[in-house]
Structure 1
């Protein structure tokens, strides 16, 4: 008895044909395939009669990690032809690789990621030797368009070169040791009957060694092997290997999902796989000549459908050029890159700003020529798989489809229980990334309260796959959305945290616990950006204080965020240093959020006002702190000390002594006055407005500026006084008019016909003209 090892490249028509022919010829007792062993009990489900492409999606979640991965299959996947040909030949079918959730595959998003990409030094040398651009072109050159004669030997030589003497990593070693146990067990059970093993070519050399210790093996198609070599008996393990079980605290689910050529395509960002699945489907079905012809026709039809001029002469030129390129490259038939190069030569007349995308691997580069983009899309194809109606689906799919409803626009009243519940369902689907669920308007973080939402639901062929994959998060929309949000929090930076918390409220998931709450505290505790801390604090505090709409008022989760963000913001603020610069509004808003948190949540959350006042006092008089932060710190200290009649000097010095005029005069430097006032007004607007003599003092300081200084300071001064609402600006104008112009109207002062900057520039110009006239003795009075 012998075991036939077939090393393949995943999603290769040439390998798929070799696998099918070998199994049909040998009619083995067992067909062993690289794939998740925990799916063996569900082999009948996999072979129900689906329209390919499909994939096995596995979702894994435990308190430490979450992982999702795919095992994709299409018509020309060697693994698929192994299963279908094996079933037709009456063989027992087994997947022999570790389950997708296993730690050895923790970094693998796609099980069928071709391993030669990991050993690019060898493939780079091969590409250079054969004068091709990349491994995809190399593969076509060596295997896809060459005759099938000798394919097994060429594959074995290629993968032996790729693997070489390199020791695998720990994860590959664990997978190979496990697969070898399955091979030994199958060989022992098969007796004299053949066994066929189909795995990625990278694993083949190691599996021959591991599984064939003391045993004979074949490495190609039926009938091969060294007949002169004795065949020692196989000594398989006692029984079949056990399928690893996930940890008890883990949630694991594996389901079949419809897949698409778009997701298979390397140009669309697929982790590996071959590019242009639409082309390789044609190659599988019709051979290289028809695939080349069909590719040219598909590109032409797509361009014409988008009103791109493609003439018959262009088409003839593209075919002739592709044939000539193929002949020059020694190809018996035009390969994929030959056809693409021919099309590009015939259809693109101007110089290209980016390299042709098939010269490298990976997603289509930005700035690609529109014709090139359409060519790549035509090669990709638009096929989408469909599951057999009897395919089991996760509970989440049934739970959603039962209540989602048909396409159309919905307007929800969030003041009513029914509207709020419907909103929560739709937000849960939005958070899970379900296609065809889009919100047009509604409440926003730290925005005005809105009691209505508008949604639009549309049909999407990607909805079922997305729902199946989301089923790994939970059995119903609420549980799944909570798990998805927990995952986002674990990887969120502070700029994202406020949005995640707001999404939790919109989903009706107001309380988070355990590790998730620890992740929130970690994100806040590691923050170094005062502005980002402020944004998070503003949203969390608003929801904690008075968000009765989403029932988050008094939330323990949000209270934890408010408390942690307040303390962290004070700590970060005390370390901010910098010279004169435009006022940093996010920084000012952060200090205002600290003030509000201490005022409104301090007693409930244990925030110490004296701690905040102490930090503010030090910052207000720190010469290295930026002007806006010094002004904001003065305002924070002043506002937290309690009364509108409080002495600003006391706020500035923390001693209760000193002169208010002295405190303000010391901070008022014309070049930075507007920035300093912006911070002060943002945090102590009412205190400034109602403190005796404060407006008069500010008027005196501003009025004492030279025209040039005033012109420099004017933009920042306008920004600072913008913190006063219109009613208060009118009050300021009234007092200034009374102080300077007697019975004039404050409305006239506020309704200047010219822009203030223009008026100030005119005043400065007048001053310079007068100075020049005096210098020349033209005026003396």
Structure 2
């Protein structure tokens, strides 16, 4: 069989050049490329004349599995040059790998993520042998910078070595068996004419062996299950998304550098890299002198000579630039000495160098490229950039809001809400959005097209995906988003999950948040259109009962006030007050729980204060004498926590009960300086529940009590921060203590 097997590293200029030259030389009948076989009928679409980088995005979902993956291509991808060169010589072009949705690729987010993690031990040995930091530097050293003579043989020896020590998994074996059948079928159909096979180097040794014998019929392209929704579309891609320093596991970092290497060779790429770094640093007002550039180039040339490179490689240039431009000690390892996403702690100059290498190229699809229906639906309705203020009291405003929320849920760039209804807020009937242009919008819309044909269907599928594995707290977010999107069908599904999760809830804070959301939707049905929901009523009722049961079981000594726990008691009060009569909630049983918690000593102070406030706010009168309760709870270490719970639930009742604020002033005034400093942070938190108007009223009453007249603003307008005043008081106390100890003062 006249088959030429070319094992490549994805996104390698050296491999891309070898592939193009080989195809031009042998003029094969078939060019077979590792790629999704279900795209073979759309080869003309792929080769329309796009501006690269682009990618094939495939989405898959059924009742059991959801998956999305990319097959990216840039100018120097060997797979792309194979297709372009193959079309030039009139070869039959075929992708021969399993479709991206296939279970064998279910764990693969990117088809061209190199297999180097699977043979790390071998490449580690080679890195030690050639004295390089990592496989990227090793690859440049062996293949990108070296002359092209003998490249095919060197690549074959390299991949034979790394595959020989590595055991392939079942998924790889399934893919290789499928690709091998394509190879055998093409060779048989070619009738002795050449066939060129371009695959990742990891697969080459196995394919050479498997191609010798087996079924020679053309394999069928697998079809997804009948209940699955599958879509594949071309999307614009970007160098940023290709860059290993941005987290892409392609194995080839710095796509901007390798693009120049592909276009002009290593010498020009090194020069262009230095110029790009210089321009970027100067644009950010970083001083880069001519002397610095001379030093950087001289260092890079010296390193290349020492390392045996005919031209400075990427790491030579980077090391030279770092040595010339960074004068301070570098705390973190240089990014190009390791692999993976750029870590925190790097010198700002180093970060800018990496950005310059990445490049800012963004692909563009040919105007004739088919797009998912979702793209057309959104672009037709989105409108021009600018600020939109929506009146949610009108049907037109609500419909526009739902559309924009669906885009927000789908994470479409350039669609941002700046104000409107919030989880913990009241009924805000106005919403403001800011729409901006974004280069990433079209790729995001095409990717989102895998969820559905219109924004409502796509947002519903995206929210349903978030449900899987979500805890009670996360489900509350999904519930609120579903309501804002106007997705009643999904809301019913989420409510079913919520009702089931409420019965097993153990986190009082998360349960309170869920109750807050469900109650807000139940009360404000004009906004959310959720009235008459039996399941929603069930969630409110079950969450209220469960919260009271959990609250009575909370025991513990003094601790900082738990605002989430206090918020749950507030949600219970609101549910009893606003939904009690309609839903038949047992208010008397709730008051009994509140009274027991408030009167006991087992619960934390904040919960005891909240329980007293719950009963007081519901009855209109406190179950116990408030003044007596306040005296009993006023221990410096916990007084502020107890008041936090009380003020959160019964702020107005406290404010309008004669003598209570005056008693509180008396208790605070009776504290020692040390006790006051201990209690101060929690007291400040507690009084934060009073809005500014009520704080002014409190201040006015205290001024009248202390001085018989004056303005409350005098107490509220400190010339120094409260923390500074407290620190000054503590310092005064320490000075007084020292003076008393030395007998310098006696009082």
TM-score normalized with structure 1 length: 0.84
What runs of 5+ residues in structure 1 fail to find an aligned partner? Answer: 216-233, 650-659
Question: In the alignment, what sits opposite 2:292?
Answer: 314
Deviation at 1:547, TM superposition (A): 4.9
Question: In the alignment, what sits opposite 2:102?
Answer: 102
Deviation at 1:142, TM superposition (A): 0.8
Does structure 2 conserve the Cα–Cα contact (< 8 Å) formed by 1:619 and 1:629?
yes
Question: In the alignment, what sits opposite 2:397?
Answer: 419
When residues 150 and 607 of structure 1 are mapped into structure 2, their CA distance, relative to the original with a 3 A threshold, is: farther
Give deviations 1:67-126, integer Å, cap 9, x for gaps.
211000011111111112222222222212111112222221111000012332221121
Deviation at 1:703, TM superposition (A): 8.3
Q: What pairs with 1:450-599 in structure 2 (closer than 5 Å)?
A: 450-490=428-468, 492-493=470-471, 496-510=474-488, 512-513=490-491, 516-517=494-495, 519-520=497-498, 528-553=506-531, 555=533, 558-559=536-537, 561-563=539-541, 565-599=543-577
Deviation at 1:56, TM superposition (A): 0.2
1:345 aligns with 2:311: no
More off after superposition, 148-157 vs 522-531: 522-531
Question: In the alignment, what sits opposite 1:679?
Answer: 645
SS in 2 for 1:112: coil
How many angstroms apart in 2 are the aligned matches of 1:694 and 1:343?
70
Does structure 1 conserve the Cα–Cα contact (< 8 Å) formed by 2:114 and 2:249?
no
Does structure 2 conserve the Cα–Cα contact (< 8 Å) formed by 1:730 and 1:747?
no
Does structure 1 conserve the Cα–Cα contact (< 8 Å) formed by 2:37 and 2:95?
yes
How many angstroms apart in 1 are the aligned matches of 2:311 and 2:703?
90
Give deviations 1:236-272, integer Å, cap 9, x for gaps.
24x3222222222221110001111111111122132
How many angstroms apart in 2 are the aligned matches of 1:776 and 1:269?
67
Q: What pairs with 1:217-232 in structure 2 (closer than 5 Å)?
A: none
More off after superposition, 610-619 vs 118-127: 610-619
Structure of higher CA gyration radius: 1
SS in 2 for 1:674: helix
How many angstroms apart in 2 are the aligned matches of 1:185 and 1:472?
32
How many angstroms apart in 1 are the aligned matches of 2:684 and 2:279?
60
Deviation at 1:587, TM superposition (A): 1.7
When residues 439 and 647 of structure 1 are mapped into structure 2, their CA distance, relative to the original with a 3 A threshold, is: closer
How many angstroms apart in 2 are the aligned matches of 1:329 and 1:96?
39
SS in 2 for 1:548: helix
2:274 is aligned, of 296, 300, 306, to: 296
When residues 309 and 386 of structure 1 are mapped into structure 2, their CA distance, relative to the original with a 3 A threshold, is: same
More off after superposition, 514-523 vs 628-637: 514-523
Q: What pairs with 1:668-707 in structure 2 (closer than 5 Å)?
A: 669-685=635-651
1:644 is aligned, of 611, 616, 620, to: 620
Does structure 2 conserve the Cα–Cα contact (< 8 Å) formed by 1:63 and 1:515?
no
2:215 is aligned, of 231, 236, 240, to: 236
When residues 371 and 523 of structure 1 are mapped into structure 2, their CA distance, relative to the original with a 3 A threshold, is: farther
What runs of 5+ residues in structure 2 fail to find an aligned partner? Answer: none
Q: What pairs with 1:116-135 in structure 2 (closer than 5 Å)?
A: 116-135=116-135
Does structure 2 conserve the Cα–Cα contact (< 8 Å) formed by 1:511 and 1:556?
no
Question: In the alignment, what sits opposite 1:172?
Answer: 172
SS in 1 for 2:33: strand
When residues 426 and 513 of structure 1 are mapped into structure 2, their CA distance, relative to the original with a 3 A threshold, is: closer
More off after superposition, 25-34 vs 588-597: 25-34
How many angstroms apart in 1 are the aligned matches of 2:297 and 2:367?
43
How many angstroms apart in 2 are the aligned matches of 1:115 and 1:275?
15
TM-score normalized with structure 2 length: 0.87
Residue correspondences, number: 736
Give deviations 1:398-436, integer Å, cap 9, x for gaps.
111112223333333333333332233222222222222
Q: What pairs with 1:211-222 in structure 2 (closer than 5 Å)?
A: 211-212=210-211, 215=212
How many angstroms apart in 2 are the aligned matches of 1:710 and 1:311?
59
When residues 264 and 684 of structure 1 are mapped into structure 2, their CA distance, relative to the original with a 3 A threshold, is: same
Give deviations 1:10-49, integer Å, cap 9, x for gaps.
0011111222222223322322211111111111111111
Question: In the alignment, what sits opposite 2:199?
Answer: 199
1:149 aligns with 2:149: yes
SS in 2 for 1:31: strand
Give deviations 1:589-621, integer Å, cap 9, x for gaps.
211112222332345556544664454455335
